[in-house]
Structure 1
Amino acid sequence: MTVWLLIGLLIFLGFKFWERERESSRFQLAGGVVVLTRAPDGHFHWPGRVGEVEVDFLVDTGATSTALPQALAERAGLQPLGAVRAHTAGGSVNGFAARADITLEGGVSARRLTVTVLPNLAAPLLGMDVLGRLHFSQKPGELRITPSP
């Protein structure tokens, strides 16, 4: 019985290690250039923080502004500035605006950025309000990002 528990534990730990390595390989910093590799879900993800809360931003070049799920905004302690109506792929939804300090791996940050907070958003979206300040180029399966000159 103990042998099977040890085998199960080793398999579990091996899977967790593989999963962590796979996640970390999607983000690389090479000489000041951030290189994001397309994830299995077909999107580019950029690890970062909202205040002190770690997040995995979905890079969304079709989004005008950065949008956060309401649960994340609450964990980060963001305060509503006022109501907003956002137009998403799923239709119009009500939410609120807030200010957030966004920090992305690789040294990119936006202080007191006005973000849109939506109640049923599945993942934080990094919009063109941040991405527009950067220079990025895309190759198959890869997004390269450098700060604008």
Structure 2
Amino acid sequence: MRPLVFVVFAFVLMYFVADSLLRRQSSTYAIEHPNDVVQQMLFKNPITSTEKGIIISADKQGHYSGAGMINNQVMKFMIDTGATRVALPSELAKRAGLKFGPAVISHTAAGNVSAYQTTIPTLTIGSINLYNTRAVILDKLDQVLIGMSVLKKFRVTQFDGKMVIESP
């Protein structure tokens, strides 16, 4: 009986390890290869790449979010036209190997909070690649916020539940 329990346990463990690895690899593949079908399958709000930029579909709450990469680390993000800069959670900043620069006070919708200045060497959203992007690191944040410091570099239009971000 013990050998059977061991074999079942080994198969269950292998299943969960393989599932975790495949999910991580699938997400990275979808971002590095912005294929519409793959994005549709893996993300609720897929990013579609175009010749000049990207198209992001709104979620049920009307937010424009998806997945991108900071220093080749896959991260969830949300477009935030009310944010001055790119903002990211401290745990994601650490995972991406970002340096925590000088402390600053950041003025948010929730009030003033402590933050750290940083520079993101590589920020990728679909077919858009940005380099040396100034950002702030916040402790209490759920996902990366893409603010106006990035959006002002592009032509941004919104219609029919889609946001188009493209080179001017």
Common fold: TM-score over 0.5: yes
- What is the alpha-carbon distance in structure 2 between the residues aligned to residue 34 and residue 70 of structure 1? 27
Is 1:39 paired with 2:59? yes
Q: TM-score under structure 1 normalisation?
A: 0.79
Report which of the two structures shows the higher radius of gyration computed on alpha carbons.
2
Q: Which residue of 2 aligns with 1:104?
A: 125
Q: What's the offset of the Cα at 1:109?
A: 2.0
Q: What's the offset of the Cα at 1:127?
A: 0.7
Q: Structure 2 counterpart of 1:83, which letter?
A: A
Q: Deviation digits for residues 69-119 of structure 1, max 9, x if unmatched? A: 00000101111120011111111100101111211112x122121110000
Q: Which residue of 2 aligns with 1:128?
A: 148
Which blocks of at least 5 consecutive residues in structure 2 are unaligned? 1-18, 24-38
Percent identity of paired positions between Structure 1 and Structure 2: 27
Q: TM-score under structure 2 normalisation?
A: 0.70
**How many pairs does the alignment contain?**
131
Q: Secondary structure at the match of 1:73?
A: helix
Moved more, 123-132 or 108-117: 108-117
5 Å matches for 1:17-36? 21=41, 23=43, 26-36=46-56
RMSD of aligned residue pairs (Cα, Å)? 2.2
Q: Which residue of 1 aligns with 2:100?
A: 80
Q: Deviation digits for residues 2-60 of structure 1, max 9, x if unmatched? A: xxxxxxxxxxx9xx9xx962626631123434111101242101421111211121001
Relative to total residues, which structure has the larger helix share, 1 or 2? 2
Q: Which residue of 1 aligns with 2:158?
A: 138
Q: What stretches of structure 1 move > 6 A for 4+ residues in a row? A: none
Which blocks of at least 5 consecutive residues in structure 1 are unaligned? 1-12
Q: Return closer, same or farther for 1:33/1:74 CA change in 2, 3 Å cut-off.
A: closer
Give the conservation status (yes or no) of the 8 Å contact 1:26–1:38: no
Q: Which residue of 2 aligns with 1:117?
A: 137
